[in-house]
C-alpha cells in the first residue's frame, strides 16, 4: 500500500535520508523508529508529499507521488507531530473543509464528521473554535481529519505526543481497528512500548539509513541478551551505550 | 542572584541584534524604501513647522498666542495617541506575549517583571511619537533661533509626557483584563480604536479645514482655537508640555508646569506599580483561562457558497477563507478605516468646485478623471498588498493540510485569486464610477476608466497572489507580511504598472476629449494609435496577470524541494 524505493534527501552536502526502502502492506502497522535527527520525519514528509525527494520513489495505493500526486494523496491520511490547524474554524467546520479537499460533499459529510468526532470523543466540541482546544484535543481533531475520507494508508508522526492515557488508549484502539479493516499505517514513534505493543513490523533508521527491519521478535533477537523489551536492542543498534556514562557525569 | 529589571529586556535586545546581523534578501531595498519614506516625512514635518513658525512670527502677539496653542494641541494629539497605544501595547506585553509563561515560572519578582514590561510598553508605544515630534520641535526651535536650552527642555519634557499617558493606558489594560478575558478585550479595543480613527478622519474632513486657510478667515481661526480651549485643558499634561516648551522658546523657564509633568509621571509609575503588584498576576491568570470563545457561525456563507457554481474544493476553500477573515477582528476591522478613507475620497470629488474655472471646467473634469484613475489604482494596490498578497501566508502553519490533500497547488492559488479579485474589483469599480459620476466627466472617459480598472484589477490581484506565493511568510501576521520584502516588491511593481496603464489609457482618451471639445473627429493615424495603446494596455494586464500566477504556482511547487 505504501511502497518507497531507494529514497534519498540531500540538503546541500548533508544527506538526511540515504537510500531508504520500505513496503507497508494493507492492514499492517509498521513502526518507524530512530533517535532524534535520524531522518524519520523527513522520510514521512516525503511520503506525505510535503517534501520532494532528491531521488527515489514513493507510491501510495499504486500511485506514484511524483507522477500522480492527487491520486496518491487521495488514498493517504497524514497525522503530523504538531497539530497546526485553522484556529478560527470550529472543529466541525474544519472537518467539513478537510472533507471537501478530498472531494467529500453533500449530506453525507455532516454525518461522517459527527461520526469521527464521536469516535475521538470530541462530539460536544463540534461547534467550538479550535483556538480554545488543548494540544491533545487538536491532535485528536487532526486524527479525525486523517481518517475522515476513509484513506487506504495513514502516515503518523509521533501519535502519542500530548495525549493523556485515555486519549492514548483510544488512539491505539482506533489504529488497531483501522488496521483490521485493511488500512496500512506507517507510524514514527519514540515510545518503544507503543511500537512493541502495536506494530507488526518495525524499521529502525539511523543517520538516514535503515539499519534494521523485521517483525518485533526478529528485531528483539538482534539484541545481545534475551530481553522482552525493545529498549536494549534499540540502544545497541543506535549507539545508546553512551548512556551508561550518564551516571558518572551526573 | 537577583538582577535588575532591565535584564528581562535582554532577550529583545539580543533578538534585535541577531536580526540586524543576519542579512536577509530584500533587507537593503526595504531599508532604503522605508528609511526614505521616514526621512521624507521627517523632512516635511521639519520644513512645515519651520515655515509655519516663521509665518506666525509676522503676527507678533497673535502669532505667539497661536504658536502657544498650537504646541498645546500638538501634544494633546500625541497624548490621546499615546494613551490608546499604551492600552493596546500593554495588553500584548503584559498578558498575551509568548515569553510570559517562561518568565512567570522563573523566580522573578512580580515587581521586576512589571517594571520590565512597562519599560517595553513605554518604548513600543512612544517611539513613533518621538520620531514625529523631534523634527517638529527642531523646526520650531530653528525658526525662533532657540538656544541649546530649548532642546534640553524639549528632551526633559517629552520623557515625562510620554510616561503619563502610557501609564494610564497600562492601568486601563490592567482593569480591562481583570474584567474581560484578554483576547476579548484585545478585539474590543482594536474595534473601538479603528472606529474612533475612522470617525475622526471623516469628522475632520467634514468640517472642511481648507476654509480655515483663507486669509480673510484668520480672525475666525483665532476664535476657532479659542473656543476649543476648555476649562479642563490646563489640567492635561499636553498643556503643561506646551507651556514649558513655549516658555523655553521665549528664553524663560516654566518650572511649575515642568514640575507638574515630572511629579505626575513619577506618581503614575508608583501608583501603577502598586496596582500591578495587587492585580497583575490575577489578570494574567484570568487571561490564561480558556472559556468557550464566543463567535458568529456565519451559516449564511455556507448556504450562499452552495449556490455558487464552484467545485467542492473551491467552495470549501472560499468558505474557509471567508469565515477565518470575518472572525479575526484584527483583519476585517481595518476595512472600516479603509471605508472611511473611501468615503472621504468620494466626498472630496463631491465638493470639488470646478465651476470656478468656467472655460476649462470641461477639460479639467476629464483630467481629474485620470487623477481619479491613478488614485483608484493606488487604492487597489494598497488593498491588494494588505488583503490579497498575504493570502498564501495566511494559511500559516496549517498549510500542510493543503499540501497533503489531493488538491493541485494550481487550483489552490487560483481559488485565492478569485476570492481576492471579486472584492477588489467591486470596490475600485464603485470608487471610479461614483467619482466620475460626481465629476460629470465625458461618457467615453467613464467607459475607458471602467475598462482600465477591470484590466488593472486582474493584473494587480494576479501580481499580488503570485508574489504572495513566491515570498510567503507563514509565521507572520498579515500586516507584517504586507511589509515584508515581497510586499515591498509588489508595491514597487504595482505602482509602475499603474503609471504605465494611466499613460496607455490617458493619452488616447485625452486626445479624444480634446478633439471632441473642439468638435473635431480623430484622424486615421490617431485612431490607430489609440487602438494600439488600448491593445497594449490589455496585453500588458493579461501578461502581468497570467505570468504572475504561473510564477506563483511554480514557487508553491518548488516549496517541496
What pLDDT, in 10s, does the model give residues B504-523?
A: 887 887 788 778 777 788 78
Chain A contact for B313, CB < 8 A? yes
Which pLDDT belongs to residue B185? 67
B41-45: list long-range contacts, CB under 8 Å, 24+ apart.
B41/B132, B42/B131, B42/B132, B42/B134, B42/B135, B43/B135, B45/B132, B45/B135, B45/B136, B45/B139
Is the pLDDT higher at B311 or at A161? B311
Q: What is the pLDDT of residues B227-246, one digit of tens each?
A: 555 555 788 898 899 999 99
Query: Which residues have C-beta within 8 Å of that of residue A14, sequence separation ≥ 6?
Result: none
Residue B146 grid cell: 532657540
Chain A contact for B406, CB < 8 A? yes
How open is the CA angle B177-A133-A176, to the nearest 5 degrees? Answer: 165
pLDDT band at B59 (very low <50, low <70, confident <90, very high): confident
Binary contact (A93, B407; C-beta < 8 A) = no
**Alpha-carbon distances of A229 from A29, A191, A213, A234, rounded to whole Å:** 18, 12, 16, 9
Is the pLDDT higher at B497 or at B398? B497
Instruction: Tell me the C-alpha distance between B552 and B561, whole Å.
Output: 15
Q: What is the pLDDT of residues B106-160, one digit of tens each?
A: 677 778 888 989 999 999 889 888 888 999 999 999 998 888 899 999 999 999 9
pLDDT band at B388 (very low <50, low <70, confident <90, very high): very high
**B79 CA: distance to closest CA in chain A (Å):** 35
Query: Which residues have C-beta within 8 Å of that of residue A223, sequence separation ≥ 6?
Result: A232, A233, A236
Determine whether domain A2-75+151-249 maps to CATH 3.40.50.300. yes
CB A215 within 8 A of CB A184: no
Bin B311: left if φ > 0, else alpha if -120 < ψ < 50, else beta.
beta
pLDDT band at B357 (very low <50, low <70, confident <90, very high): low
Task: Tell me the chain A residues in contact with residue B554 when contact means C-beta distances shorter than 8 Å.
Answer: none
Binary contact (A132, B293; C-beta < 8 A) = yes
Phi, psi of B134 (to 5 degrees): -60, -55
**Alpha-carbon distances of B148 from B135, B183, B445, B542, rounded to whole Å:** 15, 47, 58, 60
H/E stretch holding B244 reads: helix B237-249
Task: Tell me the chain B residues in contact with residue A86 when contact means C-beta distances shorter than 8 Å.
Answer: 320, 324, 398
**B8 CA: distance to closest CA in chain A (Å):** 28
Binary contact (B291, A129; C-beta < 8 A) = no
Task: Tell me the chain A residues in contact with residue B101 when contact means C-beta distances shorter than 8 Å.
Answer: none
Task: Tell me the chain A residues in contact with residue B320 when contact means C-beta distances shorter than 8 Å.
Answer: 86, 89, 93, 97
What is the value of pTM for the model shown? 0.71
Residue B257 grid cell: 508646569
CB B222 within 8 A of CB B62: yes
Task: Tell me the chain A residues in contact with residue B403 when contact means C-beta distances shorter than 8 Å.
Answer: 49-50
**B412 CA: distance to closest CA in chain A (Å):** 10
Query: Which residues have C-beta within 8 Å of that of residue B277, sequence separation ≥ 6?
Result: B110, B111, B114
Q: What is the pLDDT of residues B395-434, one digit of tens each?
A: 888 888 898 898 889 999 999 999 899 999 998 998 888 8
B320-326: list long-range contacts, CB under 8 Å, 24+ apart.
B320/A86, B320/A89, B320/A93, B320/A97, B321/B391, B321/B394, B321/B416, B321/B419, B322/B298, B322/B419, B323/A88, B323/A89, B323/A93, B323/B298, B324/A86, B324/A88, B324/A89, B324/B394, B326/B296, B326/B298, B326/B301
| 3-class DSSP string for B346-408 | HHHHHHCCHHHCCCCHHHHHHHHHHHHHHHHHHHHHHHHHHHHHHHCHHHHHHHHHHHHCCCC
Average pLDDT, chain B: 82
Binary contact (A76, B404; C-beta < 8 A) = yes
Query: Residue range B369-388: average pLDDT?
Result: 86
Query: Which residues have C-beta within 8 Å of that of residue B501, sequence separation ≥ 6?
Result: B377, B452, B455, B456, B537, B540, B541
Which pLDDT belongs to residue B392? 92
Which pLDDT belongs to residue A250? 62
Is the pLDDT higher at B62 or at A46? A46
pLDDT band at B444 (very low <50, low <70, confident <90, very high): confident
Q: Per-residue DSSP letters for B286-332?
A: HHH--PPPP----HHHHHHHHHS---HHHHHHHHHHHHHHHH-HHHH
Q: What is the pLDDT of residues B8-49, one digit of tens each?
A: 777 777 777 776 776 666 677 777 877 888 888 899 999 999
pLDDT band at B438 (very low <50, low <70, confident <90, very high): confident
Instruction: Tell me the C-alpha distance between A196 and A29, whole Å.
Output: 11
Which pLDDT belongs to residue B294? 59
Query: Which residues have C-beta within 8 Å of that of residue A12, sequence separation ≥ 6?
Result: none
Sequence spans of domains, chain A: 2-75+151-249
Chain A contact for B315, CB < 8 A? yes
Instruction: Tell me the C-alpha distance between B369 and B444, whole Å.
Output: 11
Instruction: Tell me the C-alpha distance between B315 and B285, whole Å.
Output: 41
Q: Which of B313, B408, B561 is the closest to A100 by Cβ?
A: B313
Chain B contact for A19, CB < 8 A? no
Q: What is the largest CA-CA distance in chain A?
A: 64
Binary contact (A73, B315; C-beta < 8 A) = no
Classify the complex by whether its ipTM is higher than 0.85, answering yes or no.
no
Query: pLDDT tens digits, chain A, 250 residues: what are they?
Result: 899 999 999 887 888 999 999 999 999 999 999 888 889 988 998 898 888 888 999 999 999 988 888 888 889 999 988 777 888 888 998 898 888 888 887 778 889 999 999 999 899 988 888 888 888 888 899 999 999 999 999 999 887 877 788 888 888 899 999 999 999 999 998 888 888 888 999 999 988 999 888 888 888 887 766 566 777 777 777 776 555 555 556 6
Inter-chain CB pairs, A–B, below 8 Å: 88
Which pLDDT belongs to residue A244? 52
Residue at grid coordinates 480634446: B514
Which pLDDT belongs to residue B293? 55
Is the pLDDT higher at B365 or at A245? B365
CB B319 within 8 A of CB B301: yes
Residue B496 grid cell: 509602475
Percent of chain B with pLDDT over 90: 25
H/E stretch holding A154 reads: strand A153-157
Residues within 8 A of B (CB atoms), A 33-92 only: 48-52, 69-74, 76, 78, 80, 82, 84-86, 88-90
Instruction: Tell me the C-alpha distance between A194 and B459, whole Å.
Output: 54
H/E stretch holding A63 reads: strand A63-64
Which pLDDT belongs to residue B240? 92
**A134 CA: distance to closest CA in chain B (Å):** 9
Instruction: Tell me the C-alpha distance between B408 and B410, whole Å.
Output: 5
* Cα B390 from chain centre: 16
H/E stretch holding A184 reads: strand A184-188
Among the ranges given (A31-40, A215-224, B351-360, B447-456), the one the predictor scored with the smallest mean pLDDT? B351-360
Residue B408 grid cell: 493541485
Task: Tell me the chain B residues in contact with residue A52 when contact means C-beta distances shorter than 8 Å.
Answer: 560-561
Considering only CA atoms, which of B540, B531, B357 is closest in space to residue B458? B540
Q: Which residue of B has its CA nearest to A132?
A: B290
Which pLDDT belongs to residue A242? 54
Pairing of strands A76-79, A29-33: unpaired
Chain A contact for B561, CB < 8 A? yes
Which pLDDT belongs to residue A230? 74
Amino acid at each position: 500500500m505504501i511502497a518507497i524505493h531507494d529514497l534519498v534527501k540531500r540538503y546541500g552536502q548533508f544527506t538526511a535520508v540515504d537510500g531508504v526502502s520500505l513496503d507497508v502492506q494493507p492492514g499492517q502497522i509498521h513502526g518507524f523508529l530512530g533517535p532524534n535527527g535520524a531522518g524519520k520525519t523527513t522520510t514521512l514528509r516525503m511520503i506525505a508529499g510535503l517534501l520532494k525527494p532528491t531521488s527515489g520513489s514513493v507510491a501510495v495505493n499504486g500511485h506514484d507521488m511524483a507522477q500522480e500526486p492527487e491520486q496518491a494523496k487521495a488514498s493517504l491520511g497524514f497525522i503530523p507531530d504538531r497539530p497546526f490547524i485553522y484556529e478560527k474554524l470550529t472543529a466541525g467546520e474544519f472537518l467539513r473543509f478537510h472533507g471537501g479537499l478530498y472531494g467529500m460533499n453533500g449530506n453525507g459529510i455532516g454525518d461522517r464528521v459527527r461520526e469521527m468526532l464521536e469516535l475521538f470523543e470530541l462530539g460536544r466540541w463540534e461547534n467550538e473554535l479550535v483556538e480554545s482546544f488543548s494540544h491533545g484535543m487538536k491532535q485528536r481533531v487532526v486524527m479525525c481529519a486523517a481518517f475522515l475520507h476513509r484513506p487506504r494508508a495513514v502516515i503518523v508522526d509521533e501519535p502519542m505526543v500530548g495525549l493523556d492515557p485515555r486519549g492514548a488508549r483510544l488512539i491505539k484502539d482506533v489504529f488497531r481497528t483501522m488496521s483490521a479493516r485493511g488500512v496500512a499505517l506507517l507510524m514514527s514513534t519514540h515510545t518503544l512500548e507503543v511500537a512493541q505493543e502495536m506494530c507488526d513490523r518495525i524499521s529502525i533508521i539511523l543517520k538516514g539509513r535503515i539499519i534494521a527491519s523485521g517483525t518485533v521478535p526478529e528485531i528483539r533477537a538482534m539484541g545481545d541478551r534475551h530481553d522482552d523489551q525493545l529498549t536494549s536492542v534499540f540502544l545497541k543498534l543506535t549507539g545508546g551505550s553512551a548512556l551508561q556514562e550518564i551516571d558518572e557525569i551526573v | 542572584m537577583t538582577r535588575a529589571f532591565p535584564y528581562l529586556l535582554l532577550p529583545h535586545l539580543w533578538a534585535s541584534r541577531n536580526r540586524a546581523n543576519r542579512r536577509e534578501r530584500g533587507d537593503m531595498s526595504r531599508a532604503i524604501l522605508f528609511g526614505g519614506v521616514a526621512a521624507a516625512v521627517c523632512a516635511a514635518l521639519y520644513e512645515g513647522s519651520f515655515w509655519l513658525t516663521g509665518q506666525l512670527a509676522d503676527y507678533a502677539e497673535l502669532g505667539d498666542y497661536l504658536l502657544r496653542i498650537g504646541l498645546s494641541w500638538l501634544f494633546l494629539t500625541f497624548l490621546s495617541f499615546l494613551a490608546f497605544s499604551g492600552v493596546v501595547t500593554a495588553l500584548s506585553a503584559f498578558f498575551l506575549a509568548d515569553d510570559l509563561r517562561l518568565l512567570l515560572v522563573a523566580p522573578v519578582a512580580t515587581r521586576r517583571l512589571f517594571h520590565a514590561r512597562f519599560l517595553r510598553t513605554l518604548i513600543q508605544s512612544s517611539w513613533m511619537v518621538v520620531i514625529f515630534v523631534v523634527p517638529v520641535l527642531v523646526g520650531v526651535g530653528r525658526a525662533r533661533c532657540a538656544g541649546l536650552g530649548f532642546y534640553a527642555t524639549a528632551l526633559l519634557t517629552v520623557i515625562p509626557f510620554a510616561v503619563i499617558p502610557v501609564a494610564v493606558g497600562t492601568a486601563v489594560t490592567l482593569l480591562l483584563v481583570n474584567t474581560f478575558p484578554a483576547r476579548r478585550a484585545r478585539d474590543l479595543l482594536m474595534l473601538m480604536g479603528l472606529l474612533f480613527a475612522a470617525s475622526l478622519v471623516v469628522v475632520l474632513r467634514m468640517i472642511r479645514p481648507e476654509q480655515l486657510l483663507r486669509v480673510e478667515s484668520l480672525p475666525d481661526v483665532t476664535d476657532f482655537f479659542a473656543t476649543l480651549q476648555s476649562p479642563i485643558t490646563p489640567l492635561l499634561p499636553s498643556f503643561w508640555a506646551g507651556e514649558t516648551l513655549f516658555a523655553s522658546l521665549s528664553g524663560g523657564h516654566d518650572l511649575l508646569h515642568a514640575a507638574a509633568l515630572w511629579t505626575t509621571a513619577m506618581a503614575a509609575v508608583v501608583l501603577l506599580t502598586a496596582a500591578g503588584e495587587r492585580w497583575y498576576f490575577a489578570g494574567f491568570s484570568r487571561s490564561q483561562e480558556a472559556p468557550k470563545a464566543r463567535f458568529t457561525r456565519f451559516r449564511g456563507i455556507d448556504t450562499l457558497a452552495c449556490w455558487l457554481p464552484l467545485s467542492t474544493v473551491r467552495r470549501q476553500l472560499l468558505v474557509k477563507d471567508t469565515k477565518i477573515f470575518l472572525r479575526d477582528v484584527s483583519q476585517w476591522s481595518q476595512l472600516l478605516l479603509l471605508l472611511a478613507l473611501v468615503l472621504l475620497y468620494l466626498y472630496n470629488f463631491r465638493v470639488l468646485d470646478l465651476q470656478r474655472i468656467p472655460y476649462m471646467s470641461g477639460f479639467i473634469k476629464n483630467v481629474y478623471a485620470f487623477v481619479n484613475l491613478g488614485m483608484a489604482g493606488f487604492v487597489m494596490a494598497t488593498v491588494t498588498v494588505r488583503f490579497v498578497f498575504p493570502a498564501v501566508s495566511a494559511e500559516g502553519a496549517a498549510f500542510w493540510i493543503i499540501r497533503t490533500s489531493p488538491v493541485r497547488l494550481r487550483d489552490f492559488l487560483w481559488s485565492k485569486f478569485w476570492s481576492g479579485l471579486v472584492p477588489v474589483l467591486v470596490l475600485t469599480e464603485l470608487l471610479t464610477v461614483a467619482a466620475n459620476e460626481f465629476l460629470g466627466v465625458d461618457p467615453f472617459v467613464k467607459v475607458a476608466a471602467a475598462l482600465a480598472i477591470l484590466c488593472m484589477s486582474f493584473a494587480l490581484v494576479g501580481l499580488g497572489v503570485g508574489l504572495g506565493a513566491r515570498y510567503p511568510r507563514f509565521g507572520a501576521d498579515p500586516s507584517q507580511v504586507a511589509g515584508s520584502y515581497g510586499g515591498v516588491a509588489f508595491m514597487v511593481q504595482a505602482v509602475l504598472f499603474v503609471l504605465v496603464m494611466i499613460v496607455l489609457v490617458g493619452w488616447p482618451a485625452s486626445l479624444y476629449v480634446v478633439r471632441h471639445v473642439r468638435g473635431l473627429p480623430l484622424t486615421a493615424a490617431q485612431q490607430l494609435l489609440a487602438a494600439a495603446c488600448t491593445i497594449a494596455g490589455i496585453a500588458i494586464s493579461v501578461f502581468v496577470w497570467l505570468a504572475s500566477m504561473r510564477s506563483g504556482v511554480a514557487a508553491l511547487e518548488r516549496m517541496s524541494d
